[in-house]
Amino acid sequence: MKILVPVKRVADPNVRISVAADGSGVDLTKLRMAMNPFDEIAVEEAVRLRESGTATEVIAVSIGGPKCVDTLRSALATGVDRALHITTDADLEPLAVASILTTVAEDLSPDLILMGKQAANGENGQTGQMLAAKLGWPQATFASKIEASDGTLTVTREVDQGLETIEVDLPCVVTTDLCLNAPRFAAVSAILKAKKAPIEERAAENLGMQLSPRLRTLSVGETSQDRANIKVTSVGELLEALAKTHGLLK
Amino acid sequence: MTVLVIAEHDNGVVADATLRAVTAAGQLGGDVTVLVAGQACAHAATAAARMSGVAQVLCADGPSLGLFLAEPLAELVATMVAGQLQSRTETFEAIVCAANTFGKNLLPRIAGLMDLGMVSDVIAIKSANTFVRPIYAGNAEATVECMEPIKLISVRPTVFDPAPESGGSAEVVSIDAPPPWTRTRLVQRAEQNSARPDLSSAKIVLSGGRGMQSNENFVILDRIAARLGAAVGGTRAAVDAGFLPNELQVGQTGKVVAPDLYMAFGISGAIQHLAGIKDSKVIVAINTDENAPIMAAADYCLVVDAAEVLVDLDAALGKLGSGEA
């Protein structure tokens, strides 16, 4: 089984972001960047599938500017076999990313595309399903468990009602939820080795597709969290305030 | 203008999130058509036709739709719109789904088939083409204009009121179900095992974090929740510690909640957690650390060990319940 893992470089979600005062967007200049956490889980799962002998090759792909190489190197350090960088300076929407990945998948013919269910910056949660649609493949979103057998995957999905287990034929697209695994910390030796590993490069512009934006961001604002922050000192005082002011827990 | 809402249902009852999506669809202007696709789903179609604000119900009934899989459902919608375009009849100007796991799974697949850009998790509708949505785990909000001829939007159910379940008398029109999709098969669907109300629609939510420290404290939390008819949830850390099953994780990456009262026990307030509770009417934070981020996001702050508060609260509510207070 050959696995393709798309990885995205995003602002480290553990760092507080700041919104530009003119409403133009989030100021990324000083932020620490990292691999999207859901993609880290996808990389880890793919590498485990290869380590267990289920997969024969794992290829990571990232789309974006020169710094995406860092993200690909961390995928290499975790244990992927090959890395492909699709270069572009454009800030691509999920539909454009799905279009590029469709071309990459047609070229590399993976049996499985394993990717994060959403990215920690745009929070769209669209790319995997769009990609599956464009390829005409089955999809298994929000995966918390993956078991491979001959030509099929059994995937447990995290849905609102609890867990759902489905069986999907390969090739397919699987998107990862947080529970799937706990990504490893790469060994120093693996990180050093990844630094020297070759990274294949292709320009998005040469893939011959229309990548024009379909959405326009008009403004970006800070989310307001205006709350009273009233200090109470006991459960009794709390219950009284909730009952008197809000009519709650009477 | 006509807006299509894709209903989530169990062949009999239309989901609460869909009632909310109908309200959102109404805010776009124009008539609302609801698609009910399933197997032996006439009851759900009738229920959808009775909802206020629904002009028409399309009912696709067939074995290919019995599992509510995204693949045949997306095919059905994309084929229907392609047919409209081909016959030059009026097309839907927007397709709306609730941004829960049903809609999140389905709508991007429709967008992919139709090669249309999509707007996810809309929290406010400014106009028929301009929407507000959270980004960066809810740290910021983007106002986005959709330039597509057909707007595909998923709407966050907690910010829209449910459309009334009666008052309407829409016509139900049958449409053909798509051909079978055999490459995805259902193995097992876990039944909702909790006697508690659903997190996303509960009036009161009691949530625990790492500061709860033990399973025993979650047992007490559960007992208090039973007294109050509240739902129990928790943080990523509580799930990781094995205190709670994953589907009870509250936050931007888990369940988004908006109850009348949200009580956070031993929760520090990670950004993505705060983003998932910010539409709650009243937030109470109970934590030993007065500088925890949850405190700044709360209406009421109690700087005490969560475990202690649980015991006091359990006792106080017990008295209330027995009429001693």
For the domain spanning A2-220, the CATH number is 3.40.50.620
- Other Cβ atoms less than 10 A from the Cβ of B199: the count is 23
**B298 vs A contacts (CB less than 8 Å):** 227, 229
Say if B229 falls within a structural domain. yes
The number of folded domains in chain B is 2
Say if B188 falls within a structural domain. no
Residue B318: band (very low, low, confident or very high) from pLDDT cuts 50, 70, 90: confident
Crossing angle of helices A127-135/A94-108, nearest 10°?
50
Tell me the per-residue pLDDT of A143-173, one tens digit each, with 9 for 90 and over. 999 999 989 999 999 898 888 999 999 999 9
**B110 vs A contacts (CB less than 8 Å):** 133
Instruction: Check the CA dihedral A101-B180-B54-B164 and report its sign.
Output: negative
The domain that holds B240 is classified in CATH as 3.40.50.1220
Say if B187 falls within a structural domain. no
**B317 vs A contacts (CB less than 8 Å):** 249
pLDDT surpassing 50 at residue B325: no
Residues B295 and B171 in one domain: no
Q: How far is A198 from chain B (nearest CA, A)?
A: 32
Q: What is the ipTM of this complex?
A: 0.94
Residues B209 and B284 in one domain: yes
The closest of B70, B117, B120, B77 to A99, measured between CA atoms, is: B117
pLDDT surpassing 80 at residue B276: yes
Positions of E strands within A41-161:
57-64, 82-87, 112-116, 139-149, 152-159
Q: What is the pTM of this model?
A: 0.91
Q: What is the pLDDT of residue A111?
A: 98
pLDDT surpassing 70 at residue B323: no
Residue B221: give the domain boundaries. 204-322
Say if B183 falls within a structural domain. no
Q: What mean pLDDT do residues B117-141 have?
A: 94
Q: How far is B307 from chain A (nearest CA, A)?
A: 12
The domain that holds B148 is classified in CATH as 3.40.50.620
Sheet containing A162-169: give its strands across: A200-203, A82-87, A57-64, A2-6, A112-116, A172-176, A139-149, A152-159, A162-169, B184-189
Q: What is the pLDDT of residue A249?
A: 85
Q: What is the pLDDT of residue A104?
A: 97
Q: What mean pLDDT do residues B125-138 have?
A: 93
Closest residue to B183, CB basis, from A134, A168, A239: A168
**B111 vs A contacts (CB less than 8 Å):** 95, 126, 129-130, 133
Q: What is the pLDDT of residue B137?
A: 81
Peptide bond into A171 cis (omega under 30): yes
> Cβ–Cβ of B301/A230 closer than 8 Å?
yes
Residues B121 and B42 in one domain: yes
The closest of B246, B249, B244, B251 to B271, measured between CA atoms, is: B251
Q: How far is A168 from chain B (nearest CA, A)?
A: 4
Q: How far is B31 from chain A (nearest CA, A)?
A: 24
What are the extents of the domains in chain A? 2-220
pLDDT surpassing 80 at residue B184: yes
Tell me the per-residue pLDDT of B194-248, one tens digit each, with 9 for 90 and over. 667 888 878 999 999 999 999 999 999 999 999 899 999 999 999 999 999 888 9
Crossing angle of helices A37-51/A68-78, nearest 10°?
30
Tell me the per-residue pLDDT of A205-237, one tens digit each, with 9 for 90 and over. 999 888 899 999 999 998 777 788 999 999 999
pLDDT surpassing 50 at residue B167: yes
Q: What is the dihedral of CA B5, B10, B11, B16, to 10 degrees?
A: -40
Q: What is the pLDDT of residue A155?
A: 98
Chain B residue with the nearest C-alpha to that of A226: B297
Residues B92 and B234 in one domain: no
| Residues of chain A falling short of pLDDT 50 | none
